[in-house]
Amino acid sequence: MNMRTDISQALDLVETAPIMSERRVSLIGGLMVAIGPISLALFTPAMPEIVQAFGTTEAAVKMTLSLYFGGFAFAQLVCGPLSDGFGRRPITLAFMAIYLAASVLALMAPNIETLVVARFLQGVGAAVGVSVARAVVRDVFTHERSARIMNMIGILLALGPAIAPTLGGLTMELFGWHAIFVVMVLLGVVVMLVAIFALRETVTRDLSRIRPKALVTSYGSLFRSPYFVLCCLVIAGTTGAIYTQATVLAFILMERVGLTPTQFGVGMLMQTANFMAGAIVMRIFMKRFGAARMVPVGLVFVAIGSIAMAILLRTYEPSFLLVMVPVGIYAFGIAMISPAMMTAAMAPFPENAGAASAMMGFFQMGAGMVGGAAAALMGDPVNALATVIPIMGLLAILSWLIWRRLPEPSLMARLKQG
């Protein structure tokens, strides 16, 4: 690990001047990455109300989340490589157009079936934010500078979901649940304007990268890399858990604990405040110890949160603090893990950064989709939270313990050449 860190720092010193500053990439990347989680979190306070509005079931409304995850996860496998071939900006605009159209469809949905389709298409469109943002970071920066930007993106990413449930709850109580999709339309317009006027193209157009054979080769090289796959499993078990929690927390806190939509939105600030606190602590200590050394610290917090959920929620009747304190501890740990693991996953694949980012996002959102589906099948949301999230935490810890013994592919190649 020391040799890897020393070589990474040496490579940082010889990087060429970036076409965009760290701050600019952080702000643009944070906005683009946040649109997916914001679109998810805005919607959650309205879920119990939509059950009544359409005269449907909780399971049907949960499908709007599951298919959102599905669209988000699988679309990344397409938009990531497309951005490698056509460029980051045009693909961003194309997929955001899908997101805007889907938001309008959701706004006008006459029944739950139409809303489910609209949410799936929203997930497809929003997927471009994660894929392109991470690819742009990899295009412009590497190693510790990349980790710093990923950390800043994480802080900005936390702000979005922090505000979103509160904004969604207030919007619903004041104007009805349809108005939530008006907010999403406005958000989509903002992202498109940023892509047009602020985002510079960071990759050379090369259509050979999107030929079927090239795509199969690209994804095949990623799947054949234990280093990459294990990085993604760490990310899936940590960041993916946040999305799994989104499928059950609204029903636990609003129906079992008795919070109003606004109270639920404000209460979710506890999760995000812990994530932001972890991100700030990470940013402070990363300068001294490096991003990689903070990962095991974060995993300790993930383990504590997992154990607390597994035991406390099976022992006592759920209350706000009994649910949100373990969730907050888990979120605190995630903030220390994500920057280093995302940077590590992307670093060995500069020639197909879009595909690597897409596959990493697929693992992340796919974990949310699988975890959410498992939680829905379990029926009782409290039991689901106490079971699924600890399993995801265990997956992350075991994956990291194996990963840490592997050499980084790109660094090993440079050592052999030198």
- pLDDT cut 90: percent of the chain above it: 18
Mean pLDDT value of segment 305-319: 92
Contact 326, 305 (CB under 8 A): yes
Report the pLDDT averaged over residues 317-344.
87
Provide the phi-psi class of 176: left if phi over 0, else alpha when psi is between -120 and 50, else beta: left
The predicted structure's pLDDT at residue 285: 82
Q: What gap in Å lies between CA 37 and CA 244, rounded to an integer?
A: 12
Residue 38 has pLDDT above 80, yes or no: yes
pLDDT at 6: 46
Is residue 48 scored above 90 in pLDDT? no
What pLDDT, in 10s, does the model give residues 217-263? Answer: 778 888 888 888 898 899 889 888 887 887 788 888 888 888 887 78
Q: Give the residue-averaged pLDDT of 23-32.
A: 78
**Cβ(5)–Cβ(143) below 8 Å:** no
Query: Has residue 408 got a pLDDT over 80?
Result: no
Contact 336, 143 (CB under 8 A): no
pLDDT tens-digit map of 104-133: 998 888 888 899 999 999 999 988 887 788
d(CA 145, CA 9): 10
Q: Which residue has the higher pLDDT, 59 or 110?
A: 110
Angle (CA) 152 273 99, round 5°: 60
pLDDT at 13 over 70: no
Whether residue 123 contacts residue 72, with contact meaning beta carbons closer than 8 Å, is answered with yes
pLDDT greater than 90 at residue 326: yes
Q: How confident is the model at residue 11 (pLDDT cuts 50, 70, 90)?
A: very low
The predicted model gives 183-192 an average pLDDT of 90
Q: What is the pLDDT of residue 17?
A: 47
Query: Predicted confidence band at 353 (pLDDT cuts at 50, 70, 90)?
Result: low
375: confidence class by pLDDT, cuts 50, 70, 90? confident
Report CA-CA distances (Å) from 201 to 248, 254, 358: 39, 44, 18
270-281 pLDDT tens trace: 887 888 888 888
Q: Scanning the structure block, which residue is given the tokens 């939270």?
A: 385
Most confident option among 3-7, 67-71, 273-277, 323-327: 323-327
Instruction: Read off the pLDDT band of 16 (50, 70, 90).
Output: very low
d(CA 167, CA 34): 15
